[in-house]
Structure 1
Amino acid sequence: MTLDKYRPLADRALEPFVEGADRVGLSPNGVSVLAFALAGVAAGAFYLGGTSPGWYLVGALLVLLNGALDLLDGALARRQNVASTAGDLLDHVLDRYADILIIAGLAAGIGEYALGFVAVTGVLMTSYLGTQAQAVGLDRVYGGMLGRADRLVLVGVVAILTGIVPVTIGWFTLVGWLLVLFAVVGHITALQRFYYSMGALG
């Protein structure tokens, strides 16, 4: 399961927004920084959601906006013909920090720090293996069970559900189970990408 394969479709849907961003003079790097800032505010909202669930709705909106802007910056760079390795590096660095902030906010909000640590390492390893394949001469790998687009959509959906009807199932709230999913499936996805890359290099 990965939504990354629908990236071309998303790029076409964002075309009017790309045109609007270009018209008002936004730069791709500026969009990347704005996306990161939204992730930071979302993390704060998720932390507050631990005691006041309504904040999860705010965090959900900000995370979904972060995902949309993450698509917009690349499309804007191509439209303005300013795509560069430096811009790509900035985008990926900010995305990783955004992932850390979002998961840290979710974990801190429910007091599950150890679970949050395992979840964030799974997410980071997934992203690392995707770009490391490119570093060794392959195409960037987006495959596996859980890509960044999937994670952001899941965070948004779970946050909305928690903001409306906060429930506990067994050991964890919905947010806790989301972190379990990221912890387990994140590492599995990282291994999938590793084995795919090793096979392609072999």
Structure 2
Amino acid sequence: MSTPFNCLSDDILTHDTVLDFFDDDDTMVLPSVHPPSSFSRIRRLLDYSHAFAHHYSLSRLPHDTYWDERRNPPALCHDGLPLQIRMVGYVHSVDYEAQGFELQLTRVVDHNAHVQLLQLGVPRPVRYPSTVALYPLASHVTAGADPNTAYIEVFDATRRLRPAEFMDRVGLTAVDDNDVLIVDAACVQQPTSEGWDVAFEPLLVCLLRSARNAV
């Protein structure tokens, strides 16, 4: 039985957030810097599935996934290929030195799906974070590297979300707290001293809305 995660808890709902009510699990939470006029575009991107590409949003992951232990690191797969998991949320914090960031998901249904994946870890975690940690694997990080030339690629989708080759590359330093992102990530096993945790490595990051330029 999965442990439900309530994204409408006091540590997330503050005077700096606004709600787009739909139903309990589908209510969208965004920082108040983003006006209600921006909600419809973001909401359209929340649910996604492309079975041929093994590309799914958190809310639509297939049930018959499995760990492919032959891969290094072992990856969550479906029908023979690693999953690409799409997440939409706003930035909680950025670590330019570690070349990654923490993403606050916008809906209860997405938080619940995130927790269900974390529960696959061995041993099962005792506590679950309120954000998704999105960092490159250690083997992909070069200490002291310019974050804009690092492993994670960030593209400008503020006007339109398109295939990466048709968007401008802006680099990780363009990402700041409260920015709204759409992230495609791999789900992999990350070794620990006692077993392994579930980790998410970003494959593609697109900036949907900048908090600094929000109108």
Would you call these one fold, judging by a TM-score over 0.5? Answer: no
RCO comparison, higher one (Cα < 8 Å, 6+): 1
Q: TM-score, normalised by structure 2?
A: 0.28
Structure 1 or 2: more helix by fraction: 1
Q: TM-score, normalised by structure 1?
A: 0.29
